Structure formats: structure tokens, C-alpha cells
Structure 1
Amino acid sequence: MPPRITARTKLLDAAAQLFYAEGISATGIDAVIAKAGVAKMSLYNNFESKTGLVMAYLEARHQEWLGLYQARLEKAGDGAGGVLAVVDAYIDHAEAGYEHGFRGCGLLNAAAELPAGDPGRSIVAAHKLQVEQLLAGHLASLTTKKQAEALAGQISFLLEGAISRAGLEGNSTLLLRARAMISDMVEAL
């Protein structure tokens, strides 16, 4: 017998699909509940409010990316392979086969909808900082700490631009171009 899927999981999955495809503001609680196929009280029993659901969605997106990164890292190792594992995790995300196509970084899309000071923006900022720190850690085995940190910032900016543009185009082509540029940058060390 397959394991039972909890109402919380159903709600998070439905929210992830709808928030990414249509946006947080455009997605009402009733749409999430209908897509999840659960009772309205299930939402309030698990998340208290739409805000709680949004926070859980943002954390789940972060964890999802970390899982993609860890899977890539296991095959790539540290140093240059680790840097490319970060990039490849973003490519994997772009190629995930979203119902309405790739729309860019789900975390940045969400942050763009949240007002300044919203706690959800802190989750997104922490994710982006962690990505840059991961890059710096991998680069530190190839160069000095100072140069590793500077290059990690440059690669992070290049990645963010590529993700944004790839989201506009709806595919991973620009991320693949960015990967080639980043590979050249790392090889030059």
C-alpha cells in the first residue's frame, strides 16, 4: 500500500504549483485548497494563514534547490566541480518541466511580490547568501580566500542574471551559456 500523502504535503504541492505559475498575490487560498483536494480547515490546521503557507513554500523551494545541489555535488566533488554543481542545480531547476514553463527563480519571483520587510524576503536573501557562500567555499580550494569571495560574488551575479533572462525566455539556454562562462572563469584560476 503506498504511503498516505498528508494534507500538509498536498497543500504545499498545490501552493508550489500555483504560486510559481500564477504568483502569490494572484493565487487565493480557495484555489490552493481546490487544487490540493483538501478541506479548508486543513489549511488553517497546518499553516494558520496564507502567510504561513507562503513561508513554508519559500522554505520548501530552498530545500528543493539544496537537494538538487547535493545530488550534483556527490557526482562532482569539490573545487571546480563544486562550483559547477551549484550552476547545474539551477539548470536542473530550469529543466524540471513546470506545468506552465520555466519562469525563472521561484524564490526571486516570490520576493518581488512581497513588501519590503516581509519575513519571506529574509528566506530568499538567506538562500542567495548561502549560494554565494557555497561558491566561495568551493573556490577557496582553488585560490586565496579573498579572491574566492570576490569571484563567488561575480559568479553569483552572473547566475542571477542568467536565471532572470532564462525565465523570460522560458528555457535553460542562457543558463547553459552562463555555465560555460563560469567554467572558463574557474579554469583561469
Structure 2
Amino acid sequence: MSEASTPAAHPANRRGTARTRLLAAAAKRFYADGVSATGIDAITAEAGVAKMSLYNNFASKADLVMAYLDARHEEWLDLYRRRLAAVSDARSGVLAVFDAYADHADLAYEHGFRGCGLLNAAAELPAGHEGREVVRRHKEDVESLLAGHLGALLPDRPEEVRTVAEHLAFLLEGAMARAGLEGGGTRLRHARTLAAGLLDRL
């Protein structure tokens, strides 16, 4: 096989590699420094690519921000799926959502844990920005996951399922906010304990 035909040398693969590096760099810089404070030069320097590579992969910084938000959502879903793979009942499924949030807090961050990257980004975006809709859908998805597990736990109590799912979502988001301020996952683990106690009383 010639060098030109190897996967590493194929133009599409080079673009894919650059895109992956740019998304990783954006994730690191946006989370550490904020979306507004992070310029294109900082991202390309972090990624180790030329500025033209960014515009070959993303139409603009705004396009990169949207890709970052989508990637954060998928990153959390991956943490959740890993936790869910190890559980065998609906109660544990609810707690897997809390565990995934704690896993998120335990990841290595340049300046430490600063809370939910999606909410941090949304706070910088103006009202009506499509990125805020991405974040809103993510939070709705998390609540829906909780409701799905609760529905299996309380199959004959649909009204209570909706109420408890919202209650747990509020508990989770409040714990995430406090954990972000405190720089660690302790509040999230406390929230999990509170959630477990609530489930035991249902």
C-alpha cells in the first residue's frame, strides 16, 4: 500500500483528526476560560493546528460552540451509559444518573471542576441563542431518563413519576451548582444519598 493511500494520509482522515483536536481544544479552553473569553487563536494554538484548519472544519466560532455543546451532551451520555451498564434494576438506574454527574465532576480539569459545562456556556449566551436550546434539551433529556427509571419503579403511579422526576432533577442541578462553586463532587455524592433515601420512601 502506498503512503498516499494509507488511512493516516487520506485528506478526509486528516480533516477528521484536525476536527477532533479542535473540538478537544475547544472543550478544554471553553470550560477553563469561558466561551466569550476564548478566541480562535487560543483554540488553534491548543489544538496545534493552523487557523485555516478551524475554518476548514467549522464555519465560524459560533459553529464550533454548537459542536462543543453537542459534544458535552454526548460526553455526559457516555458516562451515564457506562454507569447504566452496571445496574440491574430501576432504582439503581435513577442513581446511575447521579453517579454520572459525579463522574463528570471527577474528570481532570485544567483549573479544577467548575460545574456543568453546558450551563456555564448557556450563561454566556444571549437569550434566544440556539445554544441555549441545546442546553435546555440536555437538561430535559436528563429529567426524562430519571422519569423512565421511575416509571419502571412506579408503573401504576404516573403522576407521582413526573413529580418525583422533577424533584430529583432539581436536587441534581442544585447539587451540581454547589459542586461547581466548591470545586469537587462532594455535593453530588450527598445528593445521591438524598435521592436514595427518597426512593426508599416511595
TM-score range normalised by the length of the shorter chain: over 0.9
Q: Which residue of 2 aligns with 1:70?
A: 81
User: So what's the TM-score if we normalise by structure 1?
Assistant: 0.97
Q: Which residue of 2 aligns with 1:113?
A: 124
Q: Secondary structure at the match of 1:25?
A: coil
Which runs of no fewer than 5 residues in structure 1 stay unpaired?
Answer: none
Q: Which residue of 2 aligns with 1:91?
A: 102
Q: Which residue of 1 aligns with 2:188?
A: 175
Q: Which residue of 1 aligns with 2:91?
A: 80
Following TM superposition, the consecutive aligned residue runs of length 4 or more in structure 1 with deviations greater than 3 angstroms are: none
Match of 2:143 among 132, 149, 154: 132
Q: Which residue of 1 aligns with 2:166?
A: 153
Cα deviations by residue, 1:30-74 (Å, 9 ceiling, x for unpaired): 100111010111111111100000000000000000000000001
Q: Which is higher, the Rg of structure 1 or of structure 2?
A: 2
Cα deviations by residue, 1:71-112 (Å, 9 ceiling, x for unpaired): 000101341111011000000000012121000000000000
Cα deviations by residue, 1:2-34 (Å, 9 ceiling, x for unpaired): x77700001000000000000000000110011
Q: Which residue of 2 aligns with 1:52?
A: 63
The alignment covers a number of residue pairs equal to 189
Distance 1:141 1:113 in 2: 37
Distance 1:140 1:80 in 2: 10
Distance 1:57 1:78 in 2: 33
Cα deviations by residue, 1:109-135 (Å, 9 ceiling, x for unpaired): 000000000000010000000000000
Give the superposed CA RMSD.
1.5
Distance 1:108 1:32 in 2: 20
1:26 aligns with 2:62: no
Distance 2:41 2:54 in 1: 10
Q: Which residue of 2 aligns with 1:12?
A: 23
User: So what's the TM-score if we normalise by structure 2?
Assistant: 0.91
Distance 1:50 1:6 in 2: 18
Which runs of no fewer than 5 residues in structure 2 stay unpaired?
Answer: 1-7, 9-13
Q: Which residue of 2 aligns with 1:188?
A: 201
Distance 2:109 2:40 in 1: 21
Q: Which residue of 1 aligns with 2:4?
A: none
Distance 1:187 1:56 in 2: 39
Distance 1:11 1:68 in 2: 22
